[in-house]
Homo-oligomer: A and B are copies of this chain.
């Protein structure tokens, strides 16, 4: 198979071999494509998809512990510390040390943080609708289901 998948216009053809039907390669390109759409549609504020996901999850789970958040999103604790620190500095998130376990940290969005999440909701839905737009409803649901199946398989940690 050649470059047709990728469109380098009138450019020289590139022999891709098996690559164009390889899951890993397609996942990478799909992710790039998704980011592209995300930036075009949603974020004028410089917040990246991954960061916004962190904020969303804190908003959905007030009082969530930082470590659980890190494990849920497969982010290393050391990195999560920095991510959260940035959001605290930006006034979007509050950290609390609970008296029951003073080693731990629980997180919640501030009013400003919640307002930001809410304000992004419309653009986010538009973006997701646009992503769906490539497919029929049935195809999109299939794709989601297949990805969920792939992820769920043998999920140890």
Contact = CB atoms under 8 A, between A and B. Distances in A.
Given A8-B72, A142-B146, A153-B134, A24 B31 contact: yes
A22 B19 CA distance: 25
Per DSSP, chain A at the interface is: helix
A43 to B, nearest CB: 12
Contacts of A60: 15-17
B74 A29 contact: yes
A18 B129 CA distance: 13
Interface of A: 3, 5-9, 11-12, 14-35, 38, 49-50, 53, 56-57, 60-61, 64-65, 68-69, 71-72, 74, 128, 131, 134-135, 139, 142-144, 146-153, 155-157
